[in-house]
Amino acid sequence: MIAYLLIITLVLMLSIVVGLVRVAIGPTPSDRMMAAQLMGTSGIGVILLLAPVVEVSALIDVALIFALLAAVAVAAFTRRRVTESGG
């Protein structure tokens, strides 16, 4: 069971690496934001899957903070751009 969870975790880490490559090569800021969103979601998944592996159930709270932070981050990036393009 634990080994299976670790395999799933490895797949999600692969998805984080893909997001990192997208953030690095761009080409547009939209792509960077999308890749950041994918990295955040995969990070939440990895933390949730690690909770039974290392037997720390408090990790679910950490994932909750990650989810809140992702929402705030996307809103902050987009708001900044709208005000900037307005003037």
Residues 17-46 that bind another protein (CB under 8 A): 17-46
CB of 10 to another protein, least distance (A): 6
Per rule CB under 8 A, count of chain residues that contact another protein: 81
Could you give the residue ranges of the DSSP H alpha helices within 1-87? 2-25, 29-54, 59-86
CB of 49 to another protein, least distance (A): 7
Binders of another protein among residues 51 to 70 (CB under 8 A) are: 52-70
At residue 56, φ and ψ (nearest 5 deg) are -120, 105
Residues 12, 45: Cα–Cα separation, whole Å: 7
